[in-house]
Each structure stands twice: as C-alpha cells, then as structure tokens.
Structure 1
Amino acid sequence: MVRPAMLLVSPMLAIALVMSLVTTTAVAADRKDPMAEWKGRMTGLDTRIKAAQSEAELHELQGQMDQLLQACAQARGCDIAQLLPIYRAASAARSNPVSMKDDNDDGGDGPDEMIDVAGDKTPQQATADALLDERNRHFLDMVKMNPAVQAGIRRWLTDMRPSLMASYENFQYLKSSMLPAFQSRGLSEALLFGIIAKESNGKVHVGSRVGAVGPLQFMPATGRRFGLGQDGSGFDTRYDPKMSSAAAAEYFSERYAELNNNIELSLAAYNGGEGRALRVYQASGGRSFWDADVYAQFPAETRDYVPMVIAAAWLYLHPREYGVRFPRVSDRPAQIKLEKPTSFNEMTICMGNARGTDGYLRALRNMNPRYSPDTWLSAGTVLNATTAMSRAYSWNCTSGRRAELAHELMTADARSALVRIGPLEPGATSAASAQIEQAGIGAATQDPATRIQPLAVAAPPPKAIAKPAPRVEKKEKPKRVKQYRVAKGDTLGRIADKHDCDLKALAKANGLHAPGYVVKPGSSIKLEGCDN
C-alpha cells in the first residue's frame, strides 16, 4: 500500500521542483540582464505606439519613449544602444501615419501638399549619434544647472521662435550634405544645428557686415586656411554647404584638441577668435567658460553666442518637452533633371508648397548655391533636391496648366499694362506720351488687336497766342562791402560769429593767416562773406 502513495506524491514533488527551478532561473536571468526592465518598458511603449488610434495619443507615447531614452542616458549601467533598435522600429512605424489626422487637419495631402515622411527618415527628437554622443550628455547635465542656457531657450521659444522654426526647416534640406563631415569627426548633429541656427538660420547666402558669409559664416582668412574661397569660376565656396561643413568640422576638431574637449570654449573660439580662447584657457589653468573671470574676458557677442548655440541644440534634441512641433520635412536626397529651360523662381511657383511651409525657393537655393533665383537654367541641368521636391517638379512643372501659369507669370511684362489712347489734345503730344515713346513702351508693346484707338473729334479753331511783353533787365548795383572797427577784446572768430561770417572767407578778404588770425584794436576790416 505504500508504493501507490509514493507514486502519487512523486509527480507533485517533480512539478514543484520544476517550478522552483524555472523561477530561480528567471530571477538569475534578471540579475544577469540589468537591461531587462528598460527593454521591457521600451517594448511596451512600442506596442502601444503601433496600436495608437489618434495623433494626440501617438504624440503622448512618443514623448514617453523620448523621456525613457533620456533617463537611460543619465542612468548608470543603462546601455542605450540596446534600446535604440526598439526606438528605430517604433519610429519607422510612426513615420507613416496613413490612418491618422491631426486634430487641426483639414484634409489629406495631395500632389500640391506633399509631406514625405516614409522610409528611413531620421527621428526628429534624437538620432543615434546624438544620443550616444558624450557631448550631448553634457548638454543634458548643463542646461538644468545653467540659467544662461535657460535664458537662451526662453529667447528661442519667444521672440526668436520663427527663426528657430525656419532654421529647423532649412537644416533638414542641408543635413544630407553637411552632417556627414560632423559625424565622421565624432561631432553631434545637435551641435551642427545649434551653430547653423545662430549663425545663419540655415540660409546659405547670408553675409555679415564684417565679411563672414555662408551657412557657417566663415571669414575670408579663416576660410582660406581651411580650403574655402574663390574656386576660379566666380563662386566662393564659403557658400557651399558641404565644403563649409567639412571646414567647420575640422576647425572644431582642432579646438577640441587644444581646449580639452570643452564645448563652451570651442564655441567661444569659433565666434570670438581662437587666439583669445586659447590665451584665456591657458591663463586660467583650464577653468570653465562659466567661471566669472574667464567669462568676463570674452566680448558681449561671444557671451551671448555660446549659450544660444547650446540652447538651440538642446531644443533640437528635446522639442516635445517644451511644446515645440517642428515642421515635418522630406529630407531624403534626390535630383531633378530639368526637362525644359526654367529658373528657381518659376519652379517655386509651379511646385507649390507643403502645408505649413513657405515653398521651395530657399531649399532650391540652399541645395544649389551656385545659381541665382532668376538665372535661366538650360534643359538637362541636374539640381540637388529631395524626393518631395522631385515629385512636385514632375507633377506640376513639366506640363499642364500649373506649368503654363508659372511660365506666364515669369514672362509677364508690367510695361505691357500701359496703353496709348492718343494725345490729350489733337495735334499735340503729351509729355507722358513722349516719355512712354522714349522708353519704348506703351503702344509699341501692346497687341494691335487689343489697342484702344482714339475717337474722331473735330479740331477747334486755332487760338490767338498773345506775345509776351519785352523783358527789361534791371542792372544790379554792386553791393557795398561793410567795414567794422575792431574793438578791444575782439578776435576774428568773435567778429565772424557776431556778423554771421564765414571765418575763412573773412580772413582771406583781410589778408589774415591761420592759426592766429590776429586783429588789432582800432583797425578796420572788411565784412566779406557775412550775412549781417
């Protein structure tokens, strides 16, 4: 009777032992993988993002995912690289929200309102290089502690908010040509954006009153040192985004090397001169830019420049934390091969604009800096662009009514609006008509079929013209020059002031010489050159 009882107990003990082993193994696995909780939370957010039913819910979940990455970046023992694949997967899923509409959306995007967000577009909040860059971790620590940077953030979010938005949009078009140089030297994307936002707002063709030009505002001498300047064709390569970015990346690598990787002092060198920054750094024994004695040795412009660049970089990494919604811009590189002669101005008209943007003129100029907006480009010219710009050109600028309207607007001549309806009086030509004829405009440029012809009017009898009376010229009497007797204490200057005289004319008329113009009491002088 004992054996059956033992047979019944043994399976139960076996099950208990197996469960205990599984639990022990799971606990041990958790202890061996400190990232399990982080990955679990990230995976949970990923699942919720993919199931989101509204734009508001999606934005909330995206914000939580960004905050989780930021928390990992600051936490000891958290390997952010293990979270990035999950983050990228969620980004790819949310980059094509075909079934969602913004709360304020008034319709879908057609060919006239293209927003290209599909594919492997870089997340707006933080790229892999930006999150892993130690310098951006320094941004995280510094902005919470530094009122100067916080003041910079305040300025970007208030009166300078339009500049921040314009800088972001322009940067998206420039990123494909400018970012590789920074990444190859270990410099962060956010830093590049901050510099561009402060230097030029992402406008390639801007220049300063002191001679700095281009998206990164290189001075002529510094530009030449890093291979920038006239290329022999009349183009200054300081305006070239790719070449200027390579020069800036090399410049910052040099400054980091000699300034102990100090971001603030490197930025101060970029704005206020590398010689000054190095002298201050060496004299202070390597103290921080925010040290009162160090800070005071830089000009006001540099003291403003450094925190403003860092503030812009911080906002680039954490827009949602401050309620910033950057415009979604297609940044995937493409090319446009012109099918017929055109100009950037004409292309801007026919290509239209994506909702919330100002059109493509700035993008065309930034990505093709050698051409002016009104330069007519021949068919076959290849231009740098994005996929959205290429589609807009193909759909709207090669043929069809939009292309015809754009060409009609570009060839319109304001002078042809003037019409000639004949002289104001028969037999006479008005001064205005004569000016129009001299300028070669008016009836000569008006289509004969639309020209307004004058009405036939009977000519009035000629009027008698009265002869003017002969003019009698009066002879002017020569003006009598007044004399003045010099009194005691008089000087020539006092006499000139008293009688409203020109001092030099008065001295010349009386033969007096500088510097003394000495006059003797009791003598007489001529008051020439005087009003009184």
Structure 2
Amino acid sequence: MQSVPRIPLVALTLVLGACAGTPQQRNQPTGAARSGDAQVDALYAQLDQDSQRYEGGLDLARKGDSAQAQGEMKAALDDLRAAATRCGQLPGCDQQRFVAVFDNLLRLGIGEGSARAAEGDTSGATPEATVPPEESSPATAALPELGRTVTLLKGRELGDIIALNGPVKVALEAWLTQYRPNLMDAYENYQYLRYRMWPEYEKAGLPEALLFGMLAKESGGKVHAVSRSGASGPLQFMYATGQRFGLGTVDGFDQRFDPQLAARANAAYVNEQLAIFNNNLELVIGAYNGGEGAMQRRAGKGEGALSFWDPQVYFGVSQETREYVPMVLAAAWLFMHPERYNLEFPKIPGRPGSITLKRPASIAELTMCLGQDGNAHDGWFRTLRNLNPQLDPQQQEPAGARLAVPLRLEKTYQRDCAAGRWPQLAAELHAAAIPSPPSALAQQAATPKQKASKVKSYVVRKGDSLASIARKSSCGGVQEIAAANGLRAPHYALKTGQTLKLPGC
C-alpha cells in the first residue's frame, strides 16, 4: 500500500494550544454579537471544507500521486491553522471543536503510518512525533526510540498536541501537584510488577505507557485494591467483566488480584474495544471507565465514531469519565516524557528474584525482618503483597515455601532473615495477641446490660387511676409507682395536678 506523506504539524499544534488558552471576549454589542455568530459559522464551514480537502489528499496519496497529495494536505492544514487562529479571537467559538477535527484528520492515516513506523522508517516522521535524543525515559528500554509518541496512541501521530489539549493539561497539572505522591507510588509499585505485567501488553501489541497510565489511575499499583463498587485488582475489573476476560476464582483466589492475569485481561479488553472504536484510544479508555455500551451510544463505533473530544461526546459522558480519560493519558505521557515537566521518577531496581524460606514466616514477619534495606520510604510490605497476591500476609508459610521478591532482597533475606535476632523478633511480635477477657467477664460482657433506671414524672389528669397511669406509661406496676410516691392501698388516692414519680422509666 502506498505510504501517506506526512505533513509537519508543529505550527498548527502551537496555534491550537494558544487558541485554547485565549479567553473569550464578553459583553459585545448586539450587532457585534450577530456578526461574530456569522463569522463563527463561517469558521465551522471552513473546518468541513478543510476536512474534505485533507481526505482528498489522502485518496491521491493512496493512488500514488504523492506530489499533488502533499500539496492538497498541506493547503488543508494551512487553512485549518488560519481558522484556529481566528477562532481564538471570536466570542462563542468552540476551540474544542477544532481539536476534535484535527484529531480526526490525523486518525485517517493510521494504517499507513503504523505500518511505516513498525518497519522502522522514520524518514518522514513529524518533528512532534520524535523525542529529542538527549531525553531519557523509563520506557526507553521497552519501547523503540523511534515514535514513542506514535506508539502511545496506536499509530495516531498526535505528538505534543496531547500536552496542549486543555483537559489533558489540567490532568498533567493534577499529577504534578496534589497527586504527585500517588504518581510516584504508582511508578514504584509498577516497577516491581513490571516483569509480570508488561509482557502481556507487549504480546498484545500495546504500549507500556498506556498500561502505566491505567494502573496509576485505577489502583496506584496496589494489587489488592477494591473500590466501593466492587471493582478489584490492580486494573480494577468488575466481577462480570473479569469473568468475560478469563478472570475467575481458583482454589478460593480471585484472579482479578493477579497482576499478570489482570494485565492480560486488560490488554484483551483494550484491543477488543480498539477494533470496535476504530483505534480511537480515548473512546476505549472512556469505555473502560464508563462502560462500552454507554460510549457506543454516545460516540458511535467503527469509522463513524466521533472523537472523544467532540463536544457531543465530551460533554455527554459522566463527569467521572470526563476526568478519567485525560488523567490516564496524562500519566502515560509523563511516563514517557518526565523530563519535559521537571519530573524525575525514582530509579527502582525491579529485577525479579525469589527466596525459599529457611523457617516458617508470614509476609508480615518478613517485612519486619527485612527492615528498610534499599527501601527507606515505607518498607517492603506492599511490594511483597503485590508479588505474592495469593498469600494471606498474616498467615505463616512453612519452611521450604518459595516467595517472589525483588532480586535485591535475596541476599538481604539470607543475611538478616534466615536466622538470628531479626526473625526471632519478628516472630515474637507476630505471635503477640490482644488478651481475651476471662470467661466470667466474657459472659458478663455478652449479656446485655439493663439500662440504668431514670426517674420520670407524670402529672395526674382528671379521671386517671394508678392502674391506668401504669398501663399508659409502661413505667412499672401499680405497687412500684405507689411505693415511690407514698400512696397507700387499697384506694391509692390521687389528686388532679399531682406529680407522680415513675421509677420504672
């Protein structure tokens, strides 16, 4: 198939970013407002014309007329750039609409661009789709240096437009400020889980950055996370969805908590939905959060699917999904390009290892015994739980049991935990228990205590008798009320307006 020529889009990207940051003018006179409406309508009409012209250029490229295709596509994008500039100067002009159109134009050439990138041909790569060579990234070892941006979006060359999209910029700020500790914890947890999760994504042809973005937003890399709605595991599968993708219960263990199986199921879900939504990743991420049925009803599917950023979709989904999609994309983007945001992820030696217990021990005991060697932040409890999700952290495993640990802990275990004072101290603390009360006290505690008597009063009314008062108040019998008030049998004489004590209440 003839490769589609690539057009440099940096200028258009920058203009769209500037447009998104331009405040709209307010309080225009009525005539000016009508004039502005006409101009906005003209801009929207221009968008449609530019879109059609760009598609025409793609058709020419597929037929082999590269030179004319280049001219048509460049002219269409030049017009779109000019329209985007004017949009920022007009009240009522929807900048989000320009981003959606731009997004759709780029998606039209996914198949050709993806094949070319997969073959290692970067001769025609756009500047924004290439990361400067001096920048390093935690994902470099797993993703090809060429087109890390392309890989993030399944071949769609959005490049830096992601960072200039308003919702994603808001999400980037959130990750870099109040959620920065969450991002760091998620990264650290992921690095120890990476050898189990990343191969499943790699086999599915999906980018590691997407896996991290979803993991960071869903659970922060806490394998045993459970939401209020019942979504469970590192990638937060609901029970029915988990079963649909092979996550069942085996020997009492819920496989949604297995990081490798969860990553495999998540990758299968993403690829299934990418096929449905014509490789529109944002729609897939939105479906993962809000349900694929709801997303299909809102955006459609196949080649006719709307962009997630289309106002009809963006403002039609729930507030949660509207925030979820940019947060996932922003976390993925930071995973690839931390240096662009003055962000430095910790260096985590996450190579896998294992230990064979020399003596019975639980994960809780091992955590105390291993101390903070190499992990001064919060010890090893979370990491050991993540790597051994099927184990009860308080239950002792027998000598000879094999546990997964980071490679660096193999020597630490042999040095500090196979024998000596630290495992003894850990066993002593683990065996400690809160004392139970003696049997007599336990029986007494189990017996409901009678509430302390509270004396209440009653004002006698005309026609009352002591029996009727006892019956109405349920505060003791006739004799009790009589004794409390010095009334004598058999008549228990009462006077209207007399105040009686009711001891039974």
Please name the residue that 1:129 is paired with: 143
1:215 aligns with 2:231: no
What's the counterpart of residue 250 of structure 1?
Answer: 268
2:414 is matched with 394
Contact 1:130-1:189 at 8 Å conserved across structures = no
Which secondary structure state, in structure 2, belongs to the residue aligned with residue 340 of structure 1? Answer: coil
TM-aligned CA distance change 1:273 to 1:477, over 3 Å: closer
Task: Report the equivalent of 1:292.
Answer: 311
Gaps of 5+ in 1: 1-72, 92-122, 417-434, 441-475, 484-500, 502-532
**Corresponding residue for 2:255?**
237
TM-score (structure 1 length as normaliser): 0.55
Distance apart, 1:300 and its partner CA: 0.7
Secondary structure, in 3 states, of the residue corresponding to 1:407?
helix
Give the secondary structure class of the aligned counterpart of 2:160: helix
Deviation at 1:409, TM superposition (A): 2.6
**Aligned length, in residue pairs:** 323
Q: Secondary structure at the match of 1:385?
A: strand
| 1:247-278 Cα shifts (integer Å, max 9, x gaps) | 11000000111111111001001001011222
Contact 2:257 2:389 in 1 (8 A): yes
Q: Distance in 2 between matches of 1:302 and 1:481?
A: 69
Separation in 1, partners of 2:345, 2:375: 13
Q: 1:133-183 CA deviation, whole Å, 9 max, x = no partner?
A: 524264633323201111101101111111001100110111111111111
Do the aligned residues in 2 keep the contact of 1:125 with 1:319 (CA within 8 Å)?
no
Alignment-mate amino acid for residue 407 of structure 2: T
Alignment CA distance shift 1:189-1:130 (3 Å) = farther
Counterpart residue type for residue 141 of structure 2? T
In 1, distance between residues paired with 2:413 and 2:319? 46
Alignment partners' CA distance in 1, 2:384 and 2:141: 25
CA contact (8 A) 2:290 2:321 kept: yes
Distance 1:177 1:309, change over 3 A: same
Partners of 1:155 and 1:161 within 8 A in 2: yes
CA contact (8 A) 2:307 2:313 kept: yes
How do 1:126-525 and structure 2 match up within 5 A? 126-129=140-143, 131=145, 132=147, 134-136=150-152, 138=157, 140-231=159-250, 233-282=251-300, 285-353=304-372, 354-413=374-433, 415=435, 480=461
Q: Distance in 2 between matches of 1:477 and 1:238?
A: 64
Asked if the contact 2:139–2:209 (Cα under 8 Å) also holds between the matched residues in 1, the reply is no
Q: Is the contact between residue 130 and residue 190 of structure 1 (CA under 8 Å) also seen in structure 2? A: no
Measured after TM superposition, the shift of residue 328 of structure 1 is 1.9
Letter in 2 for 1:388: R
The CA distance in 1 between the partners of 2:247 and 2:228, in whole Å, is 19
* TM-score under structure 2 length normalisation: 0.58
Identical-residue share of aligned pairs (%): 43
Pairwise CA distance, 1:305 = 0.3
Amino acid at match of 2:293: G
8 A Cα contact 1:343 1:375, kept in partner:
yes
In the alignment, which residue of structure 1 is the partner of 2:467?
A: none
Unaligned ranges ≥5, structure 2: 1-119, 443-456, 465-471, 473-505
Which AA in structure 1 matches 2:140?
A
Which letter does structure 1 place at the counterpart of 2:323?
D
* Structure 1 residue 235 displacement after superposition: 1.0
- In structure 2, the CA distance between the partners of 1:256 and 1:349, relative to structure 1 (3 Å rule), is same
Matches within 5 A, 1:41-52: none
AA of the residue aligned to 1:237: Q
Range 163-172 or range 389-398, more displaced: 389-398
| CA shift digits 1:198-233 (9 cap, x unpaired) | 0000001111111110001001111111111222x1
Aligned partners of 1:264 and 1:306 also within 8 Å: yes
SS of alignment partner, residue 218 of structure 1: coil
- Distance in 2, matches of 1:269 and 1:153, equals 21
Change (3 A) 1:481 1:182: farther
